[in-house]
Amino acid sequence: MRHSMPIVTPRLILRPPTLDDLDSIQAAKEEAWPDLQRWMTWAFDNQWSRQAMEDSIRRVMDYQNQVGIALAGFHRINGDFVVRTALDSTDQQDVYETGYWVAPQYAGQGMATEAVNAAIRYAFGHLGARAISIGYFDGNEASRRIVEKLGFEKLRVAHKAATRCLDGAKLDRHEYILTSPDALPELDVLWG
Ligand SMILES: CC(C)(COP(=O)(O)OP(=O)(O)OC[C@H]1O[C@@H](n2cnc3c(N)ncnc32)[C@H](O)[C@@H]1OP(=O)(O)O)[C@@H](O)C(=O)NCCC(=O)NCCS
**What separation in angstroms does the CA of 61 have from each of 32, 94, 142, 159, 184?**
23, 21, 30, 35, 29
Rounded Cα–Cα distance for residues 69 and 28 (Å): 20
- Residue 138 is predicted with a pLDDT of 97
Choice from 83, 100, 134, 164 to test ligand 1 binding pocket (greatest atom count within 8 A of CB): 100
Q: How far is the CA of 62 from the centre of ligand 1 (A)?
A: 30
**pTM greater than the 0.85 cutoff:** yes
Is the CB of 108 within 6 Å of ligand 1?
Answer: yes
Q: How far is the CA of 128 from the centre of ligand 1 (A)?
A: 28
**Would you write out the chain's pLDDT as a tens digit for each of its 192 residues?**
589 999 999 999 999 999 999 999 999 999 999 999 999 999 999 999 999 999 999 999 999 999 999 999 999 999 999 999 999 999 999 999 999 999 999 999 999 999 999 999 999 999 999 999 999 999 999 999 999 999 999 999 999 999 999 999 999 999 999 999 999 999 999 999
Is the CB of 2 within 6 Å of ligand 1?
Answer: no
Task: Identify the burial level of 132 via C-beta atoms within 10 angstroms of its C-beta, where 0-12 means exposed, 13-18 middle and 19 or more buried.
Answer: buried
Q: Are 119 and 85 in contact (CB under 8 A)?
A: yes
DSSP at 6: -
Pairing of strands 95-97, 131-137: parallel
Collapsing DSSP to helix, strand or coil, 167 comes out as coil
Q: How far is the CA of 1 from the centre of ligand 1 (A)?
A: 34
pLDDT in tens, 75-97: 999 999 999 999 999 999 999 99
Rounded Cα–Cα distance for residues 150 and 181 (Å): 9
**CATH homologous superfamily of 7-191:** Gcn5-related N-acetyltransferase (GNAT) (3.40.630.30)
Q: How far is the CA of 109 from the centre of ligand 1 (A)?
A: 9
Q: Are 153 and 166 in contact (CB under 8 A)?
A: no
Q: From atom 40 of ligand 1, which residue's Cα is the shortest distance away?
A: 101
